[in-house]
Amino acid sequence: MIRTKILGLGSYVPERVVTNEELAYLDDQHVRQETVQTETTDEWIQKRTGIKERRYVPNDGQWATSDLALHAAKRALTDANIEPTEIDCIIFGTLSPDFHFPGTAVVLQKKLGIAEKTSCACFDIRQQCSGFVYGLQMADAFIRTGMYKRILLIGAELHSHSLDYTTRGRDVMVLFGDGAGAMILGPVESDDQRSGVMYTSAHADGNGAMDLYLKIFDISRRPYVDYNPKDRETNKDMYPQMDGKRVFLNAVRGMVMSTQSALAKTGLSWDDIQWFVPHQANLRINEKVVEVAKIPAEKVLNTIQFYGNTTAATVPLTIDHWRQQGKVKKGDRILASVFGSGFTWGAAIFTL
C-alpha cells in the first residue's frame, strides 16, 4: 500500500529581530523612529499573547514571500537529499502572496530554477493559518493516488510590510512575524497504518469570514481599495482587521475539537505521540487548548515567543526550530492542530 512519507523538512526566518519594545517605535515602513508611534508595551504583549519578539525582513524592497519560501525550500531539499528538479508538484500556502495573481508557487518554481526543466504542477492555497494542514491533506491524497511523487509543501508569510504600525492597528500588528517552513513529501510502500502521514482533517465555517480579514482587494468595489496619503482613516482597508475575542474563542474550540477527533479516529493516545504542535497565534490560546483537551504539557511545542504568528508557516517552522534544538527527532510522531481566518481549522498526525 502506498503511504505518504515526510522526506525532508526546512525553515527560514529573517535575521532582523524586532522586540516588543522596538515595535512601539516603528513607522509605517517598519523603520525605527526616535518617538513612540504605537501605544503598546512589552508587558501587555507578553501577558496577552506570550510573544517576546518576531523576525522581519529588511526593508530594502528586495524581499517577497517567495524569497522566504526559497530559503526554506532549499533547506528541506537538502534535508531530503533530493534535487529541485525532482519536485513534480508545489503546494504553496500563504495569505501574503507576492502578487494578486499569478500565485506564488509559480514564482517559487522559477526561483528554484526548475521552471524550464520540470513544468511541475503549482498550487496556491488560501487557508491562512490553517494552510499547512490543508496542504498536507492535499499532498497526502496526491501521493497516495500516485498523482505526484515529490511534493514541495510550503507555508510562507511576509507580514511586516502590511501591518498598521499605529495605536489603531496595535491589536493585530503585535501578533505577526515573517517566516517560512517547508516539507518534501513522497510515496513509500508500507502496510504500517501508523507510518508517515497517518491522519489529516480540514474544516471551515464561512460565518467567521469577516472576523479576520484583509480587504486590500475587494472585487465588488472599484477602486478596490481607497487610499489617501493625507488621511489614514481612509486607508483602513489596507490593513488586516480582526475581532480578536471571536477569533480567540473559535480558535480554542476548533483546535480542541480537531485534536480530540484526531485521537478518536486513529485510536491513538498521548502515549503514542511525542509532540503536540499547535498553530502559533497566541500562547494563551495554546495553553487553553492544552488544558481543555488534557494534553500532557511536556509534549507541547511552541515558538510564538520568538517568531510571533507566521500564519501558514507556524507548524513546519516550530517543528524545525525544536529539531535544531535537538528536542524533536526523526521518527517522532506529531499531532498538529491549526486554526485560521475563514474560519478554517484542522489537524494532522504524522511521523517525521
Q: How far is the CB of 310 from ligand COA (least distance, A)?
A: 11
Instruction: Report residue 102 as a C-alpha cell.
Output: 499569478
Host H or E run for residue 340: strand 333-340
Q: How far is the CB of 120 from ligand COA (least distance, A)?
A: 30
Segment interacting with ligand COA, rule: CB under 6 A, options 110-118, 218-226, 232-240, 243-251: 243-251
Give residue number: closest CB to ligand COA: 244
Host H or E run for residue 109: helix 104-111
Q: How far is the CB of 312 from ligand COA (least distance, A)?
A: 10
Q: Which is nearer to ligand COA, 89 or 252 (CB)?
A: 252
Q: Which is nearer to ligand COA, 80 or 313 (CB)?
A: 313
Residue 211 CB-half CA count within 13 A? 19
* Residue from 80, 183, 247, 347 binding ligand COA (CB under 6 A): 247
Segment interacting with ligand COA, rule: CB under 6 A, options 59-67, 76-84, 247-255, 256-264: 247-255
* Residue from 244, 253, 261, 268 binding ligand COA (CB under 6 A): 244
Buried b (16+ CB within 10 A) or exposed e, 196-224: bbbbbbbbbeeebeebbbbbeeeeeeeee
**Taking CB under 6 A as the criterion, which residues in 23-52 touch ligand COA?**
40, 44-45, 48-49
* Residue from 171, 211, 272, 287 binding ligand COA (CB under 6 A): 171
* Residue from 71, 170, 288, 323 binding ligand COA (CB under 6 A): 170
343 binds ligand COA (CB under 6 A): no
SS3 59: coil
**Taking CB under 6 A as the criterion, which residues in 71-100 touch ligand COA?**
none
Q: How far is the CB of 214 from ligand COA (least distance, A)?
A: 12
340 binds ligand COA (CB under 6 A): yes
Residue 307's alpha-carbon distances to 7, 50, 174, 287, in angstroms, are 25, 11, 11, 17
Q: DSSP secondary structure string, 226-257?
A: ---TT-GGGGGGGS-EE-HHHHHHHHHHHHHH
272 binds ligand COA (CB under 6 A): no
Q: Known catalytic residues?
A: 129, 279, 309
Is-cis flag, bond preceding 343, omega within 30? yes
**Taking CB under 6 A as the criterion, which residues in 118-157 touch ligand COA?**
129
Q: How far is the CB of 237 from ligand COA (least distance, A)?
A: 18
Instruction: Report residue 260 as a C-alpha cell.
Output: 480530540
Q: Are the beta carbons of 40 and 170 closer than 8 angstroms? A: yes
Site string for ligand COA, 300-319 (x = CB under 6 A): ---------x----------
Q: Are the beta carbons of 20 and 148 closer than 8 angstroms? A: no
Q: Which is nearer to ligand COA, 10 or 50 (CB)?
A: 50
Q: Are the beta carbons of 336 and 347 closer than 8 angstroms? A: yes
Q: Are the beta carbons of 93 and 138 closer than 8 angstroms? A: no
**Burial (CB count within 10 angstroms: exposed 0-12, middle 13-18, buried 19+), residue 272:** middle
Q: How far is the CB of 164 from ligand COA (least distance, A)?
A: 11
245 binds ligand COA (CB under 6 A): yes
Q: How far is the CB of 125 from ligand COA (least distance, A)?
A: 16
Straight-line distance from the first to the last Cα atom of the chain, in angstroms, rounded to the nearest whole number: 19
Residues that bind ligand COA (CB under 6 A): 40, 44-45, 48-49, 129, 170-171, 174-175, 242, 244-245, 247-248, 251, 281-282, 285, 309, 339-340
